[in-house]
Amino acid sequence: MDTKDKENIMKELSSLGISLYYLVDKNIISLKEIENILFIDNVDKLSLLFPKLINKITLEDIEISNELYRTNITKLDVIKDVLSDNKNKYPQLRNIVDIALDDKLADTLIKDETYFKYLNGKYLYMLTDIIKKDISNDFIRYRDDITEYRRLLKKIIKNDEKELCNDIDNYYIGLLTK
């Protein structure tokens, strides 16, 4: 598969990262099923396997996983990530991060939709971490593939982080225009 196909796979999977992590953690789906998607060699096979994987994810799974795993990475944690990755932005937030920045303000700064989008990418990245450690040296091609998938996923997470910055910018714009 070419890079564009892999990028599309990562976009689809990253939108379900929290749920996939939850389902693997609860042994409802196996890591092997995700690996089969990632390491498939042609698009025709992918069109058969991908819907089978997605159909295993129910609305209830999505709701449970969102509630369960959102406490592991809070909006406050996400803001700290944004501040860490954007050293030249938001000096006013950096000044209050340990004093006045709390969950309530974090909830005001970042929209739920953007937050969950970012979390999904982070949890999928954690899954690829497990897969990367699981791949033996015998499968060098797969190691190269997972490295490429992780690179593409970092790009997606970086774009999600830009959206988080937009949320923060919009908050400040709202304060200035009141």
The C-alpha atoms of residue 114 and residue 16 are separated, in whole angstroms, by 14
* pLDDT (tens digit per residue) in 50-106: 888 888 899 999 999 999 988 899 999 999 899 888 888 888 888 787 777 788 888
Report the length, in residues, of the chain: 178
Q: Global pTM?
A: 0.88
Using the predicted structure, report yes or no on whether residue 114 has a pLDDT greater than 60.
yes
Q: How many helices and strands (H and E) does the chain possess?
A: 10, 0
Checking if the pLDDT of 137 tops 80, the result is no
Other Cβ atoms within 10 Å of 7 Cβ, number? 17
The per-residue DSSP string of 40-94 comes to -S-HHHHHHHHHHHHHT--HHHHHHHHHHHTTTS-HHHHHHHHHHH-TTS-HHHH
- The amino acid occupying position 88 is N
Buried b / exposed e across 60-80, counting CB within 10 Å, b at 16+? ebeebbbeebeeebebbebbb
